[in-house]
Structure formats: structure tokens, C-alpha cells
Amino acid sequence: MRKILFIALLVFSYTLGAVPVRQKPVVRIQPNGDTLHLFVTGDEYYHRLHDAENYTIIQHPQTGYWVYADKEFISSDRWNVVATDYVVGKVNPRNTALAPNISVDRISWQKLQHKYDFPGRYSAHETKTSGRNHGTLNNIVIFIRFADDDPIYTPFPTIDSMFNASSDNATSMYNYYKSVTYNKLNIVTHFNPAPDGDNVICYQDSLPRCRFMPYNSRRNPEGYRSYEYAEVEMSLLERAINYVNEYCPIPESLNIDMDSNGKVDNVCFIIKGEVGDWNDMLWPHMWNLLTRNVSINGKLVDNYNFLLEGSGPSYFNVSTFCHEMFHTLGAPDLYHYEINYIVNPVGEWDIMASNGMPPQNMSAYMKWKYGNWLDSIPEIRQSGTYSLHSVGSNNPDNCCYKVATPHPNQWYLLEYRNYNDQFDQSIPGCGLIIYRVDDRYNGNQSYDGRTSFDEVYVFRPGGINATTEGTVAQAFFSGATNRTRFDSTTDPHPWLTGNVRDTSISVSEVSVPEETITFRVDFASSGDAAISIVVDEPQVMVSHRTITVNDAACRQVSLYDITGRRILTSKGSEQTLLTAPSSGVYLLQIEGLPAKKVVVM
């Protein structure tokens, strides 16, 4: 079978904010006129076209036909994604040697992921500035179509309602942020050029749509090369802003700099047309206008959202608007960009991990840290019975608790989620959600399981460690489902970053959800509290500075510091005890087995 190399342009931005989609239906037309009903899965960092059985599809660079993809191996862990001669619609991929879910290799992904990163983009806000993200944010929308595009036919009232509808039950970005911020932030959207009645009026660019799609020597010779991505996109936006400034200027009386930092708070560019293929520019995202010095009424344009008007309900919807806006306000993504990590750490429980419709709340932790809409998170320090109002209610002073763990940078967040709340109707259940927070990290997007881990993780049935997915949709604890207990003996059980089992806490007696939810928290006594590394055999227990190895094979055990210097060695017995000299991270080597990292408190 002949294979043709296909170069997938994986586009990464300096501060790009992602929005995920799974199995979004799309239509593609073959050169002979055949219609293909396919799907796209991913985000703007990486998305791929596939069929209903997840066989990856790309366009043949020579024939232009949509064909199934295969791997062309460079080494055991490196490969290219290549086009085969198996034409979609003519060949059943199950009758070939092809595998489903073909995507780029991990090494290529990790290199490209950091190509344009600015470290610290989503940094922790060490000081809780009282006015940050409070007040009225005037969001500017600029409509754009390309030289060869028809007008935007979506009626203006439809778009305006998605942004600005304020009636009690309306699903809009305005209502969403009014609700999730407990009336601390109002986002009002203004449209440019102004509409003509029900008709959207666009800035029409001088260049055709093909210029904003990836280069291909045969199919799209006018397209942009990978190194031109930022230049082409930001030149387009600069032309659109200059047009608005000249022909339909934004009133100088409108405050477009809520935080008085000299920058426009946010500009939303709505582009005519459908989302693109294979990681091209035409995909919803948040970025910064880094390569252009362009202003509106003396305020520098910086943060912007890039949306596709023709992308249908999967992407051009209120949930996408709210997700991208939370990026503008400072929040990171809570899902893994690296496609080879199958675990979804948060799932449907936060808008920065999954887009529900109507859009769901972000967690109380995200509201506190990145939104600045909660002043504090009260801590449970004593055993007892506690109650919570739901995160989506109007009781921000009683919507969450934190509980410490034996690790100084990790703690549990407990919150009540109720699908009867207006902006939690899309969540999969009603009850107590328990998160693990690791405040050494900002977001979950850079997870690699070695040097970067999740900031936020939701405990769920079957999720016993960092490599088992479990069922995140069933994460809610509730007396109505008889899932009322969370401790070291239950599924799930408490575990910390590095698959460290925690026996220091027990949550029990979770009530049936009503206006509030009640539960009991108990702490282990100081002599009983322990954490353990979860391995099949032997079992390693860590309690304070004492490391206990239960091993029927009685193998030799050695303890090394993080630099690799050996500190202790024991000949081994059925139960071997080692005492670490101080708190910290160590490597435990059991004879014949890979070294295990242990955290000593």
C-alpha cells in the first residue's frame, strides 16, 4: 500500500486558550462529489478528522480525496501521520490493517506544545486584589468576512441575544457571568460595525479565505506556512480594527478598560464561516495581539477571542463564548492538551474542562483563585457535620470547604453541585463533588505525568490513580445514590499527586441533596494518619518519616535522595522499616523493581 507523507500543522499560540470538542459532526465533499458525514475531535492545539469508529481521516496531498491515515514510523516512539490510498466511503477500514485513533506522537506533541509558551501566563494571584474582575466589562465584537465570502446570514438579534440577553431564564454570556460571579461582574457586548436592522454588517477583508488556511502546493498554494501563522492572523485583525476606528468608531465615552491598565479589556472577532481542518487558524481560540501595536480610543488591543460564526451549535454558542472569556479573565484549561493521556481530570464539572449547554459553573476553587469572586475558602479543621449551599446558588459564603492533606501543597475542595441551578443544568448529577487541588501548578493543560501534574482533579468511581479514567460523570456523592462515603477503603479513595494514598481523612453520611447538602468529616488521629504509594506488590506505606515495606519476597530495600545518593539500605524482610532523615522527596529502590518516588512529611 502506498503512503504519502502528510505534514500536520500543529498550531500553538503564545497564550492561546483552548476549547475542546468531541465528535463534532462535519461534512466534507470528495472531488467526485460524494458527501462524507464525519466528525472532528480536539481543540485548536490539535484536532483531527475521523469517522464514527474513530479512524483518522486526512486529505491526500496529491489527489485531494479524503483518505484514511496511517503511521509511518521513524523510531519506536516517533512517527509521521501519512495518507493512504484507502478512500473514505470506498473502503471499510476494519477490513484493513489500519488502527483507529491515529494522531501525532508524544515527543512531537510535547515539543510543539511549548513552542510559543510564555511561562506564567496563568499565574497564581498571590494577592487578592479586591477589584480584579469586578464591575462592568464592555466587550467589543468586530465582525469579519473574507474577500470571497457572502454576508453573515445569522440574524443579528440571534447573536445579540447570545451575548446580551438579560431576562431571568435567558442563556447568555451576560447572564452567565452575572450568575457565576455572584453579581460581581457584568459583561456587556457592543457590536461593530453596527447592524442594519436584523442584518449583520461585517468588515470585509481584501484577502480570500484560502489565505487563512494552511498552505498546500496543489490544493492551496495561497495558504499560510506554519511560520506565518501569527503574522497572517494578526495582520487581518489589525486591518479590521483600523477599519472600525475609521468608519464606525467606538464612542470615546464607552469604558473599554475596566481595570485601568491601558489595554482594551477584550475584543471578540467573529469570523464568517465554519471551523477548519487539522489545526488551522480557523478554530475558536483566545490569544493576545502580540505582534501589532494597534489601539482603540488610546487603549492597546491585547486579549481577544476568535470565533467562527458558521461553526454551528458545537462551537458558536454561549458556552464557547463563556469559556474563552474566562481565559481572558485569567483562567487556564483544566483538561490535558497531550492527546495520549486518556484521563480526563475534571470532565463535565467545570467549563474550563468541558463545554456544557447551557454552560456550567466553574468550580468554587476556580472562582476563588482565577476569578476573584470568592474572598476565601473556609477550612474544616475539626471532625464534625457540615452543610453547603450549591455553587450555582446565591450563597457564595457557604458554597465550599477545604480540607488539608499531609502534603503542604495539596488539599481537598468540597462543593455541592445542583443541576436545578440555571447554569448547572448540563452537569451529569447532583451531589457533593470532592476535588484534589495541587497548588504547585496552574491548570491541567501541561500534564505529562513526570514534571507537570494536575492542579485540579475530581475524584470519581474507578479513578484509583493518575492513569485510570474511571467514570467522571458519576463523581457526585449523594444519599440518593447510596454513594455517601469517601475514605481510604472506598472507590474512589483519597490519593495525592504521584498516586500517593491518603488515609488521613474520611467523608461520610452524605445526605440527599436538597436546598443544602450535609456530610460528616473525620480526621485520623496523629498516630494513624498515613499516606502510601499504591503498587501491586509490595505495598509501601509512609507515615510521617517512617517508610514501611511489606514484601513477602524479603528483597533488599534502599533509600536514595532526589540526587541519587544512597542514604539507607536494608537486607529486607517481610516488613522492612526505614526512617528518612528529614521530610522531602526520596527514591525507594526495592531489589529487582523500578525505583518509586516517596514523599515524606
What pLDDT, on the 0 to 100 scale, is given for residue 126? 45
What's the rounded mean pLDDT across residues 311-326?
86
Contact 133, 184 (CB under 8 A): yes
- Where helices occur in 132-248 by DSSP H, the ranges are 156-164, 173-180, 229-247
In this structure, of 187-201, 285-299, 540-554, 560-574, the range with the lowest mean pLDDT score is 540-554
Sign of CA dihedral 422, 426, 432, 435: negative
In this structure, of 39-48, 443-452, 458-467, the range with the lowest mean pLDDT score is 39-48
Contact 215, 270 (CB under 8 A): no
Of 595 and 430, the structure prediction assigns the larger pLDDT to 430
What pLDDT, on the 0 to 100 scale, is given for residue 120? 40
Distance CA 114, CA 95 (A): 38
Average pLDDT, the chain: 86
| 3-state SS track over 337-395 | CCCCCCCCCCHHHCCCCCCCCCCCCCCHHHHHHHHCCCCCCCECCCCEEEEEEECCCCC
- Dihedral over alpha carbons 395, 400, 401, 402 (to 10 degrees): -140
Q: Where in the chain is the domain with CATH 2.60.40.10?
A: 535-600
Peptide bond preceding 193: is omega within 30 degrees of 0, i.e. cis?
A: yes
Torsions phi, psi for 572 (to 5 deg): 95, 145
**Which class for 316: exposed (0-12), middle (13-18), buried (19 or more C-beta within 10 A)?**
buried
Distance CA 24, CA 50 (A): 10
4 strand-pairing partners: 83
What pLDDT, on the 0 to 100 scale, is given for residue 44? 61
Per residue in 413-429, pLDDT (tens digit) is 999 999 999 999 999 99
Contact 228, 172 (CB under 8 A): no
Of 144 and 548, the structure prediction assigns the larger pLDDT to 144
The one-character DSSP state at 324 is H
One-letter amino acid of 288: N
Q: How confident is the model at residue 200 (pLDDT cuts 50, 70, 90)?
A: very high
Contact 239, 309 (CB under 8 A): no
Closest CA to 355 of 8, 17, 14: 17
Q: Tell me, which fold does domain 535-600 have in CATH?
A: Immunoglobulin-like (2.60.40)
Sign of CA dihedral 415, 419, 420, 424: positive
What's the rounded mean pLDDT across residues 429-435?
98
β-strands 78-87, 596-600: how paired? Answer: unpaired
What pLDDT, on the 0 to 100 scale, is given for residue 9? 32
- Residue 227, SS3? helix
What pLDDT, on the 0 to 100 scale, is given for residue 163? 98
547 strand-pairing partners: 542, 578
C-alpha cell at 57: 481521516
Q: How confident is the model at residue 537 (pLDDT cuts 50, 70, 90)?
A: low
What pLDDT, on the 0 to 100 scale, is given for residue 177? 98
In this structure, of 32-36, 343-347, 529-533, the range with the lowest mean pLDDT score is 529-533
Per residue in 472-518, pLDDT (tens digit) is 999 999 999 999 999 999 999 999 987 888 889 999 999 999 999 99
Is the pLDDT reported for residue 534 higher than 50? no
- Dihedral over alpha carbons 143, 149, 150, 156 (to 10 degrees): -20
What's the rounded mean pLDDT across residues 431-445?
94
Distance CA 285, CA 15 (A): 10
- Residue 226, SS3? helix
What pLDDT, on the 0 to 100 scale, is given for residue 567? 87
What pLDDT, on the 0 to 100 scale, is given for residue 483? 96
Distance CA 416, CA 401 (A): 10
- Region of 518 (left: φ > 0; alpha: ψ -120 to 50; beta: rest) is beta
Of 290 and 268, the structure prediction assigns the larger pLDDT to 268
Is the pLDDT reported for residue 168 higher than 90? yes
584 strand-pairing partners: 600
Q: How confident is the model at residue 2 (pLDDT cuts 50, 70, 90)?
A: very low
- In order of 239, 292, 301, 308, the CA distances from 265 in angstroms are 19, 16, 8, 21
Per residue in 125-135, pLDDT (tens digit) is 444 566 789 99
249 Cβ contact list (under 8 Å, min separation 6): 297
The one-character DSSP state at 107 is H
β-strands 203-204, 135-145: how paired? Answer: parallel
336 Cβ contact list (under 8 Å, min separation 6): 343, 344, 345, 444, 445, 447
Is the pLDDT reported for residue 71 higher than 80? yes
Is the pLDDT reported for residue 599 higher than 90? no
